[in-house]
Each structure stands twice: as structure tokens, then as C-alpha cells.
Structure 1
């Protein structure tokens, strides 16, 4: 997805940038550089099949690192810990014996919580374009639809609960570009997960698998 990130970031960094976004021809060229099937991961190296391709780990790396740190802490005997490295994983319970409390940012009002989740031995990840807008109006963000090269517009925010942070992180990113009917089908493929999807009008769709 990195070619799309570079395209949008570069476009809106220029003075007098077209508020409608990059030209279609340029967008089409960048989209042709996005294809996971052309990414080769081998022992000792990562390679691309095409010149100009690039990769970002933004959609899963924070969850993966959160899991690795959590596993190291557990291996050292720490059974009740809340790990927050961009995504959140709860080991055990709060020292008081209750579940850990995780606040959810309101995507419509900066600095306000939209709710609270109570979790124990679970992970939480949230994806929302409001976190990294490229343009002043916030219409173009860092969440991209690989099928079109455009920015995700289906949901304001997606929060996923899962047994581990890697799964939660990956699903919150994937669901961000999934229409409502497809979101439920995708979540059903991952046992023990649930999602909270905020529509653009502020209403919420809760999905449990």
C-alpha cells in the first residue's frame, strides 16, 4: 500500500493541491504497484516483483509487536498486565480483580470517549481515518482500498476484539474498507472476535462472531 500513501501525501503536501485528490492517471499507475501477490517473503530477504513497489507494515505491525511483548512478559511470570503499543492486549485482570477498561475515542469529537470496553485475556485494535488525514477537510486518509486506490469511506472507525493483537489489528484494517454485508461474513471466519463499526453518521454497528 505504500505507493498509495506516498502518492496522497505528496499530492496534498504541494501548495495549491487539487482538493479532489490526485489525477486519475497518476492514481491508476500507483494502484498497479499494489499487489500482495508480487511481494516475495523469503528467509533473509523481502523482495518485490515490480520496480517502484513498496510496503508498509502499518496494517499489522503494531499488533504483532504488542503480541511479542505480551508473550515475553508472560514468559517472565507477569500474568496481569495491560500492554499498549498502539494496539492493546490484556493479560489477565486488573490488580483489583476486575477486567481491564479500555476507552474508545469518539471519531466525531476530538478528545471525547465514545464508550468503554471491559477486557481480560483479549486484545483490542481500532482503525480510523481520522487519525491521519492528508487534506484539511479529512476526506483523504491513510486507510486505502486496494481495489480502487481510493481512501476508505465506509466507516468512521472500526474497533475489533480478538484473542490476540495481531488478529485484531489486521481485521480492524481490513474491515475499514469492507461494506456492511461483507464485514459480517469476514468476521465470521475468525472465531472469538467481535467488532464495533461506526458509520459516517455516527451510528454504530456491533458484530459478534
Structure 2
């Protein structure tokens, strides 16, 4: 099963080229005063880790430990790997004795699906495959798949048809599939933050596909995380100053199935249509898991519904760029 391309185009404070494998620490880790920095890639996205530590050797060991955890989790969540737990589940429609982390992420999927009225739903993989296959054919109809084809794919969408507990995960309908690209990178980022915090680190910036600041910078100032310009994702549109906060951005510009850009990867599990309501949605939340999931779901929701979700959560901020390029901030 082909992977869902990354929807993230926000610019981390120092993240650069994307790739599919983790780079070794080696000369890419360096001490900058009391900051030790690693840059590479993880889970199909640019990755970045910066730790404030008085002992460079201890910091490098901690980075290696963090990257080992990322590699372990990648073997669970990745759609790029045929042998990952998720790929096996999608291929077989059932997985016995699933990894506890996979069950934990599915529980988070259920939580954010319920919070957003079904806008967050990882079973949209069936829709992604439909659009991918349609537009990969020579002479594909630029209007997209037929209504009948969309309805058929929608019959295989719906998180209520994913049955799971700690012993087993199973799809209730044949042909279903999951993509966790809208939440797994955030979860992995949170796991790295937990490792650092347990090791006594009080100042760090972690980006394993989504960004999360642990504490403030060593000098007490906020970490600065760039948000990409939807008209030119290589440019920075704005800056988020973060202390103990996570930042995730979704935008239709991240991947388009067709040259005209009518069909993008932000697919509505309720209708099968692509998202066009907002050009960019940035969620600022206490955890990267929340920011990741909500930036995906909020791409499909009107501003008033986003505000209602934030009020129910009692936390968070969302920065929107609408179709006219107007910018607004929604808070809890």
C-alpha cells in the first residue's frame, strides 16, 4: 500500500532536507555553547533535535537514545515500510497482539475523532488510494473519480469500523486501511520529549515531523518556530514563539493529486472531498499529538466549529489563513 505523503510544510527552526532514513549522529551533532543539535530525517519528514546540556557527551548519548526510540516507533507506524505493524494490519485486515503504542495511538484517534465530530479519521486511506489510482492513469478525467467510485471508497471509511483492544485490531469491513500520518509524527515527537524530560532535560526543541518545545530556550526566551507561506512553502509566513507548546501546520499545498490542484491529500472522511476551506491551519497545543491531529481535522472545519472544539478542550490556539489570504487567530 502506498504511503500517504506528508502534509506538513511548516518550517522548523532549523529543519532542512527531508528523507526516509535517520542520519547518523556523527559530525551533524555539534555543541553550540550548551546546545547540542542534530538534524536529519525521521518517519518520512525532516527532523530536528536540540538539547541544552552541560555535558556534550551525555547529550549525544541522549540523542542516540531518542533516535533509537524513533526507529522503533517507525517500525510500528510507517506506511513506507512493508514490514511495519501498520502495513501488516492494512494488508491483512487484522493484527493479533498489536504493539501497545499502536493501540495507544488508536485511542488518541478515537478521542480526536469524537472531539471533532468525525473530521479526524485515519481510515481515509481508502479515499487516498482511490484518488492516487485515478490520477496515476493516463488520460485521467480531470474532474476526479466518479461519484460511484467515491461512494464505494466511503463505504470503507469510518473509524467506528476499526475494532481494537490490547489483544487485537481488526477491520469490520473488507478493504479498509489506516494512515496515521496525521497523528503519528506528533506522537513520536511527544515520546522523545518524554525521554528528555525523564532524563532531566529542561530546555529542548524536538521536531520528529511535528515541533514541540520543552521549556524555554536556555536564556529564558521562547523557542521560535516558523510557519510556511502557503504560496511558497520554502518561505516563512510567520513565527510562533513557544514555551512548553507544540506546533503543527496543515495545508492543501502539501500534496495535490492533480496539476490543477483541485484534489489534495486533506480528505474529508464524511464526504470524500478534498479540503479547500483554509489555505493553512496551524494548531498550537500542549502536546504534539494534539497539534498534529487537530491541524488535520481543523482543515475541514469552519472557524466557529474550531472555536467550539478549543473551548471544549479548554486550551490551544489556531492560526488560520483563509482562501483570500486573510489571517485570523482562534483561541480557547
TM-score by length of 1: 0.96
The corresponding residue for 1:38 is 161
CA distance in 2 between partners of 1:17 and 1:163 (Å): 43
Task: Give the deviation of 1:141 after TM superposition.
Answer: 1.0
Task: Give the deviation of 1:22 after TM superposition.
Answer: 0.7
Higher RCO (CA < 8 A, seq sep 6+): 2
Equivalent residue runs for 1:43-62 within 5 Å: 43-62=166-185
Question: Which entry has the higher C-alpha Rg, 1 or 2?
Answer: 2
The corresponding residue for 2:139 is 16
Q: Secondary structure at the match of 1:110?
A: strand
2:245 equivalent among 119, 122, 141: 122
Equivalent residue runs for 1:1-209 within 5 Å: 1-209=124-332
1:70-94 superposed Cα distances (whole Å, 9 cap, x missing partner): 1011111111010001111100112
| Contact persistence 1:108–1:202 (CA under 8 A) | no
Q: Which runs of 5+ in 2 are unaligned?
A: 1-123
Q: Secondary structure at the match of 1:170?
A: helix
Q: Secondary structure at the match of 2:238?
A: strand
CA distance in 2 between partners of 1:5 and 1:46 (Å): 21
- Cα RMSD (Å) of the superposition? 1.1
CA distance in 1 between partners of 2:310 and 2:265 (Å): 22
Q: How many residues align?
A: 209
Task: Give the deviation of 1:181 after TM superposition.
Answer: 2.1
CA distance in 1 between partners of 2:233 and 2:293 (Å): 24
TM-score by length of 2: 0.61
CA distance in 2 between partners of 1:190 and 1:170 (Å): 13
Q: Which runs of 5+ in 1 are unaligned?
A: none
Runs of 4+ aligned structure 1 residues displaced above 4 Å come to none
Q: Secondary structure at the match of 2:313?
A: coil
